[in-house]
Amino acid sequence: MPHPLAETEKRHLWHPFTPMQPWCAPEHQPLMIVEGRGCELIDADGRAYLDGNSSIWTNIHGHSHPRLVAAIQQQAAQLSHSSFLGLTHPLAAELAQRLCAATGPDSPLQRVFFSDNGSTAIESAVRMALQYWAQNGQPQRTQLAAFDRAYHGDTLGAVSLGGIAAFRGVPDHVGYPVTRLTGLENLHALPEATTRQLAAIVIEPLIQGAAGMRLWPPGLLRGLAAWCREHDVFLILDEVMTGFGRTGSLFACQQEGVIPDFLALAKGLTGGTVPLAATLTTERVFQGFLGLPEEERTFYYGHSYTAYPLGCAAALASLDVFEEEHVLAQLPAKEHALRQALEPFSQLPHVAEIRQCGLIAGIDLVASREPLRPFPPAARLGARVCQAARDEGLLTRPIRDTLVLMPPLAATEIQIQEMAARLLRATHRVIT
């Protein structure tokens, strides 16, 4: 039965990354989610779905985790928000300290700048990097480099770093000038004069998400970090998707022993409950902004909900849950369960490749494996499989014809197997 607010929603709402004409068509019934319980989302008719993409890569400990709910409720009853311009609050101090400590015992990342979402976490890092060089003796460092097929968010600065043409949405001349890289070899080939103009390089470590869950070759991150160190170019790691256990370690960069100059965190920071983002950086960068007010070295950037107390409370509770429930220690068994559960996909003639990093998986659907031929975009295979998955009781969202499975870290091995089984049935139903 159509939801009583279905027509109202179609009349007034505009959804991100969503073709709105088919959405608003009379025959389309928007799926209304009204509740989240553990790894399931419940619709207005009471139907439960497994959350197969962790609610757009955010959820960590399952929905409505009692520890996180209590932390948010208590904080809301005490202080929902106050300004972080000229004021502070204890939860922000505690969270900053714990985030810095989480980056490792001798980590130089000892400063935290809070914002609201992944795009602003990146935006903050980039602006800090540019301003740092401008006022610390190397004003020629005005250029940024980022990778082909990268995705770093949708604010103008973040989108100019992105390497996916379809997501750009603005003309090429709008945004930062960016040197586009495909691998380390491009850096090694850069003329010295160009290198000296680079302010920072941005990368999603270990795996590029929106590119279709594409894995970097092992060692690339370490090599990149070494190159950046050698040439004194800042390394910005975008761990908006990979942070908080998603790749098997708390932060993906820890798997290659890399500590960047800037670490951008969002999505899973609050366990996927409340918006909050953090940009961690070093004391070196921080010192570069010190001076008397009239020296104009201040970082004039920020948002109204900076260090949102509800977000800080949720993030602290999420870090507690990581410890109390030994979340990271349970991941290897879950990763193994996911790998095994994806095995049957490799038997399908229309599956070209399965990639997995931690609890993140991408499955490429193609019209033909040999010769390798994609489905025509108009066939919208990925979208159709995910629509069929919905009928099977699984929610996920494709990236073109790459199917994505990204269970919350709280998913049990049985739930992981069930997610893969439902996606497999959906794939069979669409591609017979």
Binding positions for ligand PLP, rule: CB under 6 A? 57, 117-119, 122, 151-153, 204, 209-210, 238, 240-241, 266
- DSSP label of 112: E
**Least distance (Å) between residue 118 CB and ligand PLP:** 2
Nearer to ligand PLP, 126 or 317 (CB): 126
DSSP-derived pairing of the beta strands 109-115 and 277-282: antiparallel
**Least distance (Å) between residue 388 CB and ligand PLP:** 24
Nearer to ligand PLP, 265 or 337 (CB): 265
**Least distance (Å) between residue 23 CB and ligand PLP:** 19
- DSSP label of 62: -
Nearer to ligand PLP, 51 or 418 (CB): 51
Q: Closest-CB residue for ligand PLP? A: 118
Cβ neighbours for 431, distance < 8 A, ≥ 6 positions apart: 348, 350, 365, 381, 385
Nearer to ligand PLP, 238 or 418 (CB): 238
| H/E run at residue 400 | none
HSE (CB half, 13 Å, CA atoms) of 305? 13
- The answer to whether residues 101 and 280 touch, using CB atoms and an 8 Å cutoff, is no
**Least distance (Å) between residue 32 CB and ligand PLP:** 22
- DSSP label of 396: -
**Least distance (Å) between residue 241 CB and ligand PLP:** 4
With 0-12 / 13-18 / 19 or more C-beta atoms within 10 angstroms meaning exposed / middle / buried, residue 400 is: middle
Nearer to ligand PLP, 153 or 309 (CB): 153
Q: Is the dihedral of CA 426, 430, 431, 432 positive or negative?
A: positive
**Least distance (Å) between residue 424 CB and ligand PLP:** 25
Nearer to ligand PLP, 237 or 259 (CB): 237
Distance CA 266, CA 244 (A): 9
